[in-house]
Structure 1
């Protein structure tokens, strides 16, 4: 097992896998002195290390208790689940977990643990299980999306989201930022299928939907701002910076384009970076995952953008209407001219009235002679 109760620090300790030989020996020594206990049965634990299992804790004679066996099974399931992730994943996870540990000291009602330590998860295991009073989250970091891994990852994310939701958890997916792709219009993202499945609706998205509905009717927004012709269901996609940079989160508020391949989504405002203390602020025990002040400023800018675009749109419509009138008048005059020319041609035609009278007289004579 990877976890143990540290008797002096009074908290769960996860044994690192990158220990040096000296550090491993030191862990073994303090374990012999009773530093580590089983979190489940409180038995004394020993430290072992090997090429196959890495660094781990063990009961005396490897006689594990039932709960620790279940924990080992969850960890094995988790390892299989994360097999296709990149080598950067553990580093990003460690930094996120450390940040949440700090927040738990600021917010006593917030607690976090590694997903495999939560016995509720069996079928799928998130990276982190987070609890804020009664509100619970299942957090997953997604890395190493390629053309070869995308389809499988997308299906797994879909299943995970359904599974976590059924358990009462709010699923959150953070995509490694190296997968971010902005389209050439500079107002849309091109997504892997995995990224599409990672879209979620956060409080900030609901605020955007309310804002848009109060700004103008949907069809007017679509015409004026060239928004996708679909329901304006705003969602978030959240990116997390790579492990070699200062950890930060960027959230795009997006509307999906229908029937696009690859998937394309229109983002409503430029994203901004948030450190964890900013992103994980709480509002009614719910993570904000946004800077509310910046969100209000962005919506104000969006209102101004709409006002200017609407003015331009109305002017263009006036020009089009004027052009239609000009074209209609031109067609009317053209039709009149054609009619005049036709009448003139008919008037000057050799087939005149005298010809008609002569033909009538000849017909009468022929008729009378036949009689």
Structure 2
């Protein structure tokens, strides 16, 4: 397992000050292991004997700079922890840029929980297993990827020419929500401009289902984390075949919007068995707090299932389960449509009966009036005289 230090492990200001005034160059966490022929990230959890052993094998040429190929040495201290260094701290420009990327990355992650680096490490391990199986798959920790400078993802994944920028979000609160949401929006635009598809995973303890049992109540961060995945396109095509949009909205109480199905992906915390759950949703327009209607309760996917490569893309879903859920949803729609049509028929019948009752009541009222009029004490001559007086009064006033 690769350990990635968080902001609690390194104090940024202290480290940078120490780095340039004491070492005179850049520290490095990564080195190329010459015998294993792979990139090695030094752990911050090494016991003292292991630190000494790392220093000894470094002296014998085990670790070299991934950028300039110079020999690296292992150093350790209370402030900077364990790190690699060029001879006399005279680091190459590429390693300095790597450290600058890590400093920016560390600032981005300062509000995340201590679980975040462990979740990242687990995902990184799982993806590296895929990379060993599929030669066209490449996995790089975000701060080691030279494509990025403005924003840094946790991990980057490349499948042939298709690229993903993966980010884990673990700490959303009332005070941080607005800032994280804005950051995610900026990251999405930046990663897309570099040709990467952004993927955001939200720690599951932020999941909130509304009392209707059919919609999610979202942080603004969660709303920004929505993405369109292959399974969402599958749901959109399914809904279009299921019925007219107006019927779906009326029968299933879907949001009054188009069928722009998206995914929000939740990830369990590192102290549990790690799994991913994806909700396929439609956003409710103009709701506060934001809401999104979901089509089916999600199912848990292990990392190996979620990151299964299908048609040279990530699946992030089990299509067999998705098809089964859609079949159940179609049955639900037909039942709901029958009930909805019965309600319409009942309303039409009640309206017809009410109209008939009103007509009968009007006839009865008319008959009652005629009967009362015929029994009136006024005789015709009296009525004619009264009418004549009214006409004279009218003519005299005009």
TM-score by length of 2: 0.89
Residue by residue, what CA displacement relative to the aligned partner does 1:160-186 show, whole Å, maximum 9, x if unpaired? 000000111000000111111111122
Alignment match of 1:341 (pick from 344, 347, 368): 368
CA distance in structure 2 between the partners assigned to 1:102 and 1:330 by the alignment: 76
Residue by residue, what CA displacement relative to the aligned partner does 1:73-123 show, whole Å, maximum 9, x if unpaired? 001110111111100001101111001111112222111010011111000
Alignment match of 1:120 (pick from 124, 141, 147): 147
Distance 1:180 1:362, change over 3 A: closer
Alignment match of 2:208 (pick from 176, 181, 189): 181
Name 1:220's counterpart in structure 2. 247
Aligned positions, number: 363
Residue by residue, what CA displacement relative to the aligned partner does 1:19-77 show, whole Å, maximum 9, x if unpaired? 22222222111111111000001001011122332221100000000111111100111
Residue by residue, what CA displacement relative to the aligned partner does 1:305-356 show, whole Å, maximum 9, x if unpaired? 1111111111111111110101111111122222222222222222220324
**Alignment partner of 1:282 is 2:309:** yes
**Alignment partner of 1:303 is 2:330:** yes
Name 2:267's counterpart in structure 1. 240
Counterpart of 1:274 in 2: which secondary structure? coil
Stretch deviating more after TM superposition (332-341 or 243-252): 332-341
Name 1:60's counterpart in structure 2. 87
Structure 1: stretches of 5+ with no match in the other structure: 364-371
CA distance in structure 1 between the partners assigned to 2:325 and 2:389 by the alignment: 92
**Alignment partner of 1:293 is 2:331:** no
**Alignment partner of 1:72 is 2:99:** yes
Residue by residue, what CA displacement relative to the aligned partner does 1:177-236 show, whole Å, maximum 9, x if unpaired? 111111112211111110100000001001100100010011100111111111121100
CA distance in structure 2 between the partners assigned to 1:317 and 1:211 by the alignment: 26
Counterpart of 1:273 in 2: which secondary structure? coil
Name 2:188's counterpart in structure 1. 161
Name 2:127's counterpart in structure 1. 100
CA distance in structure 2 between the partners assigned to 1:221 and 1:357 by the alignment: 66
Name 2:36's counterpart in structure 1. 9
Counterpart of 2:236 in 1: which secondary structure? helix
Name 2:298's counterpart in structure 1. 271
Structure 2: stretches of 5+ with no match in the other structure: 1-27, 391-398
CA distance in structure 1 between the partners assigned to 2:293 and 2:233 by the alignment: 16
Shift of 1:270: 1.2
CA distance in structure 2 between the partners assigned to 1:137 and 1:362 by the alignment: 96
**Alignment partner of 1:36 is 2:67:** no
Counterpart of 2:190 in 1: which secondary structure? helix
Name 2:13's counterpart in structure 1. none
CA distance in structure 2 between the partners assigned to 1:345 and 1:66 by the alignment: 109
Counterpart of 1:327 in 2: which secondary structure? helix
Name 2:179's counterpart in structure 1. 152
Counterpart of 1:236 in 2: which secondary structure? strand
Name 1:49's counterpart in structure 2. 76
Name 2:233's counterpart in structure 1. 206
Pairwise CA RMSD: 1.6
CA distance in structure 1 between the partners assigned to 2:350 and 2:52 by the alignment: 86
